[in-house]
Amino acid sequence: METQLTAARLRRMLRYNPHTGLFKWRRALGSVKVGTIAGRIDSQGHKQISIDNRRYMASHLAFLYMRGELPPKGMFVDHRDTDPANDAWGNLRLATPWQNQCNRRRQRNNTTGFKGVSRRFVGKYVASISVLGKQMYLGTFKDPLLAFYAYRSAARRHHGQFARTE
């Protein structure tokens, strides 16, 4: 039977620096020396730390270390700056799956240079936003910057503190 990692056990094994977001080993384990930075970066850019042959996301361990419990099921740990390796406490917040999606950067294949703006016709730019899984049309504009302003306004209104406009 697998036992749940407790905050007390985590604190005995690792030291967390809330300013840097780094975890360091407090105990020597095999070839790992005391004071060594714990974890590795996975293919998605998140830091993972193995404890008792189980991998944990460092952001989740930060919640356990600071609040005494892992994030609730169904909730995400959102990185405010969108850097998944930055586990500084001030950069982390709980988010619903939808809120976590709101905080995404502009997609790489975006050809207009502005989040929420696409080119539909020659000389015409369309602004749209997704709100709780539904696409909302915000208007057609001749200037991509005006389309972006429409998106930014809607993002702030609908996404609140999770709005990311870059």
Q: What is the pLDDT of residue 162?
A: 78
Tens of pLDDT, residue by residue over 64-101, are: 999 999 999 999 999 999 899 999 999 999 988 877 77
pLDDT above 70: percentage of residues in the chain: 95
Cα–Cα–Cα angle for 137, 138, 141, rounded to 5 degrees: 115
Residue ranges of domains in the chain, CATH in brackets: 7-95 (3.90.75.20), 101-162 (3.30.730.10)
Q: What is the pLDDT of residue 1?
A: 45
Residues of the chain with pLDDT under 70: 1-2, 102-103, 165
Say which residues have a Cβ less than 8 Å from residue 159's Cβ, sequence separation at least 6: 99, 102, 131
Q: What is the pLDDT of residue 111?
A: 76
pTM of the model: 0.73
